[in-house]
Structure 1
Amino acid sequence: MSGLALVVVVGVAILVGTGTARRLRIAPPVLLLIAGVLVGFVPALRVVHLPPEAVLLVFLPVLLYWEAFSSSLREIRRNLRVIVLLSTVLVVATAAGVAAAAHALGLAWGPAWVLGAAVAPTDATAVGVLGRMLPRRIATTLRAESLVNDGTALVIYTLAVGITLGEEHLSAGRVAGLFALSYLGGIACGAAVTFLVLQLRRRLTDPFQHNLLALLTPLTAYLIAEAAEVSGVLAAVVSGLWVGRVSPRLFPGNARRYVQTVMDFLTMLANAALFVLVGLEAQSAVRGLDTTGLAHGTLVAVVVCGVIVAVRFGWLFTSPYLIRAIDRRPQQRERRLSGRPRALMSAAGFRGAVSMAAALAVPHTLPSGAEFPGRDLIVFVTAIVIAVTLLLQAPLMPRVTRWAGLGADGEAERERRQAEIQSMDRALASLPTMAARLGTSGAVHEQLRTEYDRRLRVLRDGDATSGPDEAAADYEQQYADLHLAVIDHRHDTVVRLRDEGEIDDEVLRRVQDGLDLEQVHMAQRRDNDTR
């Protein structure tokens, strides 16, 4: 099958999978994985394989960068200790537990550690989908864990593959040195690349150039870090966090909107395509084993799944007590979680495309020419683990969330409303000064003041300090509905003029661009007011 045909097939699978998921209210990764498995039954697609370098060198940097860009740095700071422990100690413990179980079932220690490293990290994409229904603190913790733990897992993975190939020697000093070099070097590479990019972007006004640099930044940081044999994952994450922090001050509004739109589309498309391709690889992994190997592989996969769940539950139900014994500060006691939220976090350990890419990147042969021991088993077990966590755990998460008594806490929405109120309040206070400086007429000044005052009363509607203002809210709702209706009517008129030959298609598009921007702005304003 040609590359173009594959793109069309994957695109159709994404379209059907996401559309069905929206109607059935199921997490999209679940149906996309199933779609990938079903696509694998097409004979022409059985020879298609997901190149691991495509994930590790193309998809992963951009996805991690944008996920970090969209994360809350404030919440990461508040929960930094928990995030660091989850993304380092828990990953090592998971890899060790899986390696021990796989070795007990017949896999040599080297390949067993390779398998452990491949399935140890959680997947940022799948966790990000769940995060929308959780309180901000838990969602941020899970997202940040999934961003950083790839770096830890890939260090273990590199060491395990090197030992199996005879290129590395295991020692405590060597392991500690690799971790320190990987983390510190990755942070340094990400910071250096981002600093240089920011010096360039702060001088640019062209949205296209901003978007191009937004794509090149994580790829460059990751590439340089990997060339220096340090963590490209951390380089991309550091870059995303830094750019996300300074973007509101340094970049013009039109560039921010352009980058937001393009990056949102690209990352959503990349995430969806990866899950379809992982499903395709899962079926390929099943076909790669004979009957005896399939039975043994299934046993190993079941045991590994059990170990992953047990280690995560064990960590989240023991480490808090150790922290409480060491840190007895009042602020630490205020941030303690009860058993049910910890159970929810334990159940959210989804695996995804990074695990599959790591398994596929295992060399086929040793330097001696012999086959890499257990490679087909590693790929098969990794595929099954991903399928189990997405097809069994993910559909249960809404029920677990309800059982835990958790849900979106609305904190972000409250902060949004408060930010708009304060910004409008201060703008109204400064309006006379600004009008005088610009030489604005009294009529224009009064019209803008009236509009801002009405918007302020709408935002304060229902606020505990001001009480409801139903008249202002009703006025704003009617105003938005009428404004949108007028925009639709204007659009229909312009299209009719084009159809009748009175204006050119180019003129239509120019007028339509302005109407579309006006429509999006008004629809967003109405939606914000009704939340």
Structure 2
Amino acid sequence: MRGLEVVVVVLAAVLTMTWLARRLRWNEPVMLVAGGCLIGLIPDFRGPALPPEVVLLLFLPPLLYWESLTTSLREIRTNVRGIVLLATGLVLATAAAVASVGHALGLSWPLAFVLGAVVAPTDAIAVATVARGLPRRIRTILRAESLINDGTALTLYAVVIGVAVKGLSVTWTDTAVRFLLAYAGGAAIGCGCAAVVVALRRRLRDRSVENALGVLTPFATYLPAQVLGVSGVLAVVTCGLILSQAGPKVISAGSRVQIISFWEVSTSLLNSALFVLVGVQTPAIVSGIGSVSPGHAVITASLVSGVVIATRLLWLYSVPYLIRVIDRRPVQRTLRYGARQRFPVAWSGVRGAVSLAAALAVPTATATGQPLAGHGLLVFTAVTVILVTLVLQGTTMPAVIRWSGLHGDPDETAEERRAHRQIIAAALEALPDHARRLKTPPETADAILSELRQYAAEKAGPPDTEDTGVRAGLELRRALIGVERSALIRLRDQRSIDDIVLRRLQSLLDTEEIRIELALRAFTGRPP
């Protein structure tokens, strides 16, 4: 059973397991993997169901793109040092620790480092799932780490796989140069693609073409980077972060509402399908360990899982404190967390589908045609690490968050209220000029003025433009929405508010603008 049958069964499992997890209030990724395991026990599904290239070319770009579009660039700038240390230093430290254990348990050094590179990166989607309820700053750090560390791990993976499979010799200088080229090349391609997309967005007026461009963007960014041998992950993330800043200025309200709805649905399905497919692969991987005894495989996988978790804990409770001794600047002191509040970050190192895809992509034979010794053990260990982190860390994260005493970010609500008042104030200031330009009747302008004042005082919802009953009133309100949107973007660019706050208020303005557009079309007799 393949093709369309696989798609239908996986989607049915996604819907069933998601509904069941929410009904029972259980961890969704764990339920999805469990459902996939049940499917994998069916004889017709015991073959390969998750080709590595499917994850790396079909699943990974849109998921990374959407995550980068919806993260907070301001928080990334504020915490860039900690993010870089987690996304590079911790990945390399984890790979080295895992390689040491793997070699001690019988793997060759090259294959042990392949295993380390496979299980080193956290999973962006799984982390976003388990980090719900944490303050905005910590959520952003975890999301940014998981977006960038894939690039670090996959670059290291490409280096060590050449040693393990092709017998290539690698020096420290070669490795360092390859890392620099992967990062710089990926970022450059991401910037270039973002510039092209922004230029096209400024010229496009057809909503369907705009949305098609939005769907194409992550794939058109990822593929050239991969072809050129640089980091496709960094290219997509860079492009997404740039477009998160430029998008509010160049995308129309109607297109933005449609493309956001599309990405929310499609990424949710892709994310859930990945966890199901991880489960589908698990029974076949367990039965394909190879010549290694089951006991040795379980011991190896258990020890590697423990090393992965312990390395992150050790890193989070050592490196930041060493940096504190060196960097005594007052601004850095305001960013510090206590040991108890730091634990959720240390405990959130959940692995996912990228690790599985990388493990499955390891060739079963060397360049000389000889079987790659330890291949089955490597894949089994990678799957075990994914399952252990999902079940152990994923299911206990809510309790860890409660124990840490961390809650949602009160500053986010304050920023939203402040931005709300300021954009309405900008509209009130611009109203007389726009009313004169559009020749709006005084009684209509006064009605909108009164409603805006009530809206600014949070005593009313958005002004009901249909109550004005005249085209001039609708046009005036539409013009004022443009003023409010410009004021909102200006607050974001001044770093007075966060991208998350901008997107929330922008959504309200977009909804109101679309309602006005429909009312104007009805007024002029044109079909919507």
Bucket of the pairwise TM-score, normalised by the shorter protein: 0.7 to 0.9
Return the offset for 1:404: 0.3
Question: Does the aligned pair in 1 maintain the 2:292–2:377 contact within 8 Å?
Answer: no
> Does the CA contact (< 8 Å) of 1:286 and 1:294 recur in 2?
no
- Name the SS for the 2:366 alignment partner: coil
Whether the 8 Å contact between 1:95 and 1:113 is mirrored in structure 2 is: yes
Residue of structure 2 equivalent to 1:501: none
Structure 2 match to 1:249 = 249
Q: Displacement of 1:349 after TM fit?
A: 0.1
Out of 207-216 and 57-66, give the one that drifted further.
Answer: 207-216
Aligned to 1:311: 311
- The code of the aligned residue for 1:223 comes to L
Q: Is the 8 A contact 1:40 1:283 kept in 2?
A: yes
Matches within 5 A, 1:88-99: 88-99=88-99
Aligned to 1:136: 136
Q: TM-score, normalised by structure 1?
A: 0.85
Local SS of the residue matching 2:187: helix
Could you report, residue by residue, the CA deviation over 1:306-344 in whole angstroms, capped at 9, with x for unpaired residues? 101111011111111221122111101111111012211
Give matches, 1:404-443, under 5 Å: 404-443=404-443
- Name the SS of the counterpart of 1:202 in structure 2: helix
Q: Summarize the alignment of residues 69-218 of structure 1 with structure 2, pairs less than 5 Å apart.
A: 69-218=69-218
The offset of 1:197, in angstroms, is 2.0
Distance 1:333 1:197 in 2: 39
User: 1-side partners of 2:359 and 2:293: how far apart?
Assistant: 17
Question: How far apart are residue 2 of structure 1 and its match?
Answer: 3.3
Q: Name the structure 2 match of 1:489.
A: none
How far is the alpha carbon of 1:367 from its aligned partner?
1.5
- Matched residue type, 1:45: F
Equivalent residue for 2:15?
15
Alignment CA distance shift 1:367-1:289 (3 Å): same
Q: In structure 2, how many angstroms separate the alpha carbons of the residues matched to 1:207 and 1:131?
A: 35
Q: Is the CA contact 2:134–2:408 (under 8 Å) kept in the aligned structure 1?
A: yes
Q: What corresponds to 1:390 in structure 2?
A: 390
Distance 1:205 1:412 in 2: 34
Q: CA deviation at 1:419?
A: 1.4
Counterpart-to-counterpart distance in 1, 2:128 and 2:135: 13
| Contact 2:312–2:346 (Cα < 8 Å) also in 1 | yes
CA distance in 1 between partners of 2:98 and 2:397 (Å): 24
Structure 2: which amino acid aligns with 1:151? G
With 393-402 and 284-293 compared, the bigger mean Cα shift is at 284-293
Distance in 2 (alpha carbons) for counterparts of 1:167 and 1:354: 25
| Matched ranges for 1:467-506 at <5 A | 472=459
Cα distance, 1:71–1:258 mapped onto 2, change above 3 Å: same
Secondary structure of the structure 1 residue equivalent to 2:33? helix
Checking the alignment, whether the CA contact within 8 Å between 2:290 and 2:376 is kept in structure 1 is no
Change (3 A) 1:253 1:34: same
Q: 1:418 to 1:131 in 2, by over 3 A?
A: farther
Contact 1:187 1:234 in 2 (8 A): yes
Distance in 2 separating the partners of 1:308 and 1:9: 33
Aligned to 2:355: 355
Asked if 1 retains the 8 angstrom alpha-carbon contact of 2:46 and 2:281, the reply is no
Q: Does 1:55 align with 2:45?
A: no
Matched, 1:295 2:276: no
Number of the residue aligned with 2:479: none
Tell me how many residue pairs correspond in the alignment.
471
Matched, 1:38 2:38: yes
Share of identical aligned residues, percent? 46
The alignment status of 1:5 with 2:5, answered yes or no, reads yes
C-alpha distance in 1, partners of 2:355/2:287?
19
Q: Could you tell me how far 1:399 is from its partner in structure 2?
A: 0.4
Alpha-carbon deviations, 1:83-103, whole Å to 9, x = none?
001000100000000010011
Equivalent AA in structure 2 for residue 369 of structure 1: G
Opposite residue 267 of structure 1, the aligned amino acid is T
What amino acid sits opposite 1:91 in the alignment? V
Offset at residue 290 of structure 1 (A): 5.8
1:92-139 Cα shifts (integer Å, max 9, x gaps): 000000010011011111111111100000000011113331101110
Equivalent residue letter for 2:107: L
Alignment correspondent of 2:321 = 321
Distance 2:24 2:457 in 1: 38
TM-superposition CA deviations, 1:490-512 (whole Å, max 9, x none): xxxxxxxxxxxxxxxxxxxxxxx
Instruction: Report the CA distance shift for 1:435/1:127 in structure 2 as closer, same or farther (over 3 A).
Output: same
Letter in 1 for 2:310: A
1:83–1:141 contact (8 Å) kept in structure 2 = yes
2:286 counterpart residue number:
286
- The 5 Å alignment of 1:272-283 reads 272-283=272-283
The one-letter code sitting in structure 1 at the alignment partner of 2:55 is V
Rounded Cα–Cα distance in structure 1 between residues aligned with 2:322 and 2:123: 27
2-side partners of 1:451 and 1:98: how far apart?
63
Distance across 2 between alignment mates of 1:114 and 1:343: 28
SS at match of 2:293: helix
Answer yes or no: is the 8 Å Cα contact 2:114–2:157 preserved in 1. yes
Bigger shift: residues 376-385 or 421-430: 421-430
TM-score, reference length from structure 2: 0.86
For residues 338 and 399 of structure 1, the distance between their equivalents in structure 2, rounded to whole angstroms, comes to: 18
Match of 1:486 in 2: none
CA distance in 1 between partners of 2:340 and 2:138 (Å): 12
Name 2:450's counterpart in structure 1.
450
Give the secondary-structure state (helix, strand or coil) at the position aligned to 1:106.
Answer: coil
Alpha-carbon spacing, 1:264–1:107, altered in 2? closer, same or farther (3 Å): same
1:189–1:221 Cα contact (<8 Å) kept: yes
Q: Distance in 1 between matches of 2:112 and 2:200?
A: 46
Whether contact under 8 Å (1:99, 1:115) holds in the other structure is yes
CA distance in structure 1 between the aligned counterparts of 2:364 and 2:290, rounded to whole angstroms: 18
**Cα distance between partner residues in 2 of 1:38 and 1:455:** 53
How many Å apart are 1:305 and its aligned residue? 0.8
Could you say what secondary structure the match of 2:6 adopts? helix
Matched letter for residue 184 of structure 2 = L
Give 5+ residue unaligned stretches, structure 2. Answer: 468-510, 517-528
1:473-523 Cα offsets, whole Å, 9 max, x none, are 6xx69x99xx9xxxxxxxxxxxxxxxxxxxxxxxxxxxxxxxxx78x989x
Shift of 1:291: 8.9
Match of residue 66 from structure 1? 66
How far apart in 2 are the matches of 1:426 and 1:345?
40
Aligned to 1:223: 223
Unaligned ranges ≥5, structure 1: 459-471, 484-516, 523-531
Which one is further off, 286-295 or 158-167? Answer: 286-295
Distance 1:267 1:443 in 2: 47
